[in-house]
Amino acid sequence: MARLFVENLTVMDFSYLDADRGVVGESWIVDIELTGELDDQGMVFDFGHVKKQIKQFVDAQADHRLLVPAAHPGCRTQMQGEQLRVEFELSSGGCIRHISPPDAVLLVPEATVEPASISRSLAEELKQTLPGNVHGVSLHFRTESIQGAYYHYTHGLQQHQGQCQRIAHGHRSRLEIQVDGHRNEELEARWMAQFEDVYIASEWHIVKTPVINGIEHTQMVYTAQQGDFEMTLPSDRVVIIPLVSTVENIAVYLAQQTAANLSGEVTVKAFEGPAKGAYGFAKGE
């Protein structure tokens, strides 16, 4: 029996619901192993097909989606016409409400979202799509090894032509800040604490600030190419910016906010998941 592996096949950028943390942006690096008999070419499965077919499968199933632990006792889901409504109770007494086309959500039949259960489920589904000589499929999810500051955030890009238009997808992202050319880890730590597990919202998407169970919430609504989207969550987990919440604008926002309290030149290197991102520059008075 032969065994094939591909590391760094793709990155799943998504968000998931957690009763303690709320909506959590995450980035999992995907590695895969295939076990099976050699075909007429002497291969278990052509590497070119692995990188195309299997990557497309993983991306379609979980990338840029909201993963919902449907078996959690505080979770309720309901179809409303062509929209899927999710209501999720938080341990703080607040709640998260998410309404979207069904394809923007992955319902996980567990009480929590865990890498092991997601990988098993996707591997079982994936195996059904592969040639008969492939007898075993293993998916491995891991996070980027980061020395220094990072944070989890969720956002949605209304005007995006791809899956980024979905209102609740996110990233686990590094953050580097320099002042006058020198790395400032103290500033990085402050922003990391402020931005941990937040939703970064464009101000014009906010329609209401309802009070639910005595807790102020923020409701966001927009219509994108894929359909209508709505998201409500506690206001203390929402960062509102006067910009489209792309990583380019997030980097600029962080640079400007940092420079407002300094006299030097600020450079922000904001990542969007592993190995990609944008720079922001600003100069203090």
Residue 96: which CATH number? 3.30.479.10
Q: Which helix (H) or strand (E) holds 254?
A: helix 247-259
pLDDT at 180: 96
Nearest Cα residue to 236 out of 49, 80, 90:
90
For residue 79, what are the domain limits? 2-283
pLDDT at 43: 76
pLDDT at 214: 97
pLDDT at 67: 98
Q: Which residues of the chain have pLDDT under 70?
A: none
The 10 Å Cβ neighbour count of residue 41 is: 8
pLDDT at 269: 97
pLDDT at 84: 99
Number of domains in the chain: 1
pLDDT at 266: 97
Q: Does the predicted model carry a pTM greater than 0.85?
A: yes
pLDDT at 189: 95
Rg over CA atoms, the chain: 20
